[in-house]
Amino acid sequence: MKKTKKLNNCRDLLEQSLSIIYSTMIESHQIVNAKKQIKKAIENIDNFIIHKESINKTNANLYNNWWGNIESGLGKASKLSDENKLKYLEEIEKLIENEKENKK
């Protein structure tokens, strides 16, 4: 199960417990503190999920920009000399061969 889904499940359980606390109508010091802590936990979960989603969007945008630059010839790879391009291609091929051998 994804971390976000687990956090959403946890948030739902916290909201259920908060609604139960509100329905008891008992106002002791411990219950008031429990309400505050549960509200804070829900708020922290919401903030984490929002932060995680913004990071995922940023990473997706960075990847799309990077790939777009490579496709259009603006990336760093387009500035390499032909000799260096061949050298890097040979290194990549070696890495692929090593991975294939390691999987056998």
pLDDT digits (tens, 9 = 90+) for 8-26: 899 999 999 999 888 887 8
**Side chain identity, residue 66:** W
CB 35 within 8 A of CB 18: yes
pLDDT at 11: 92
**Does the pTM exceed 0.85?**
no
pLDDT at 45: 94
Three-state SS string over 34-64 comes to HHHHHHHHHHHHHHHHHHHHHHHHHHHHHHH
Residue 80 CB coordination number (10 Å): 13
* Domain locations in the chain as residue ranges: 3-72, 79-104
Residue 74 pLDDT more than 70?
no
